[in-house]
Amino acid sequence: MRGLSISFAATAAITLLSTGAYAAGYPERNITMVVPFSAGGPTDTVTRLVAETMSKDLGQQIIVENVGGAGGTLGASQVAKAEADGYTLLLHHIGMATSATLYRKLPYDTLNAFEYVGLVTDVPMTVVAKKDFEAKDLKGLVDYVKANADKVSLANAGIGAASHLCGMLFMSEIKTPLVTVPYKGTGPAMTDLLGGQVDLMCDQTTNTTKQIKGGTIKAYAVTSAKRLAALPDVPTVAEAGLPGLEVGIWHGIYAPKGTPKDVTEKLSASLQKALKDPNIIARFAELGTVPVSDAEATPAGLKSKLESEVTRWKPVIEAAGQYAD
């Protein structure tokens, strides 16, 4: 019996030492960061900026892999099934929370299939229209679409996309269903908005700021609490009369369930360092957003955000009755 106790203790000690050694040496090779959306979209842009900066700090390259489809759930599912060794990560947006209700049959448990690394940024949305849309301000826009609901088209990048979620919230706030036009990605949706084939869209500043500044689309409001430095002339939704439309498309980094705590903490520390990088701060500002605080760029910060957002969006999605399966 005594021999068995010694053997068990020795095994446990070896396990602890090997885990610690693994975490201390991590990373020893390239890391893959999965973006569950197509290349060139808003979330892809954020991911590539963060991955490049974290790579320099970690001493190994973070390779961005786009795994689009099913509103972001295909990429999330791939990471949930990956080996929990810290070499496969996921950078997902608010869709991580809304998919828990949008999809009645998910191949993973949203709240329990991942380890948390930290929040990255909370990107405001913009309510925009084709450049020659006749409404002059948000109040005029709401009045117009209520009177012409069957004639006004609202584009989105597909079920579960940020533009889809914001669009649902917009229709909920004005209590008017519109003709929605889903696309396979943000790029095609924006192309048709620019070309005047669709009337409206509600999308992230990372995707609309350049077009708004260039005058190729018309902006009615930003969904942040304060006006944005990048778009100082665009009023907030509260200023424009729709305070309930205040929403941000937050982004967070996740790892497969069971990834060693030392590894997720090392990744979190690297994320916090990256978010202080002058280039990240400047590039985020150009996109109409800012990095989150150190307290938010932590496992606890992301976990708390995800849990609260699952609760917030559940009644909105159920009231709309729009499910992805």
- Looking at the chain, which runs of residues are DSSP E strands? 31-35, 62-66, 88-92, 114-130, 153-156, 179-182, 200-204, 217-222, 248-256
Position 21 scores a pLDDT of: 53
Q: Which residue has tokens 């450049």? A: 131
Position 191 scores a pLDDT of: 95
CB atoms within 10 A of CB 282: 10
**Measured between alpha carbons, how far is 325 from 313 in angstroms, rounded to an integer?**
17
Beta carbons of 78 and 92 less than 8 angstroms apart = no
Position 192 scores a pLDDT of: 97
In Å, how far are 21, 53, 115, 193 from 25, measured between CA atoms? 6, 19, 20, 49
∠ CA 270-271-277, rounded to 5°: 90
**Measured between alpha carbons, how far is 106 from 90 in angstroms, rounded to an integer?**
17
**Measured between alpha carbons, how far is 128 from 196 in angstroms, rounded to an integer?**
12
**Measured between alpha carbons, how far is 239 from 241 in angstroms, rounded to an integer?**
6
Beta carbons of 76 and 263 less than 8 angstroms apart = no
User: 3-state class of 124 per DSSP?
Assistant: strand
**Measured between alpha carbons, how far is 210 from 40 in angstroms, rounded to an integer?**
14
Position 14 scores a pLDDT of: 47
Position 16 scores a pLDDT of: 47
Q: Which residue has tokens 């999605």? A: 317
Q: At what angle do helices 186-195 and 205-214 cross, to 10 degrees?
A: 20
Per-residue pLDDT of the chain (325 residues; tens, 9 = 90+): 444 444 554 555 444 444 455 567 999 999 999 999 888 888 899 999 999 999 999 999 999 999 988 888 999 999 999 999 999 999 999 999 999 999 989 999 999 999 999 999 998 999 999 999 999 999 999 999 999 999 999 999 888 788 988 998 999 899 999 999 999 888 899 999 999 999 999 998 988 999 999 999 999 999 999 999 889 999 999 998 999 999 988 999 999 999 999 999 999 999 999 999 999 999 998 888 899 999 999 999 999 999 999 999 998 888 878 788 8
In Å, how far are 142, 271, 293, 322 from 44, measured between CA atoms? 31, 16, 21, 25
Strand partners, 231: 228
R_g of the chain computed on alpha carbons: 21
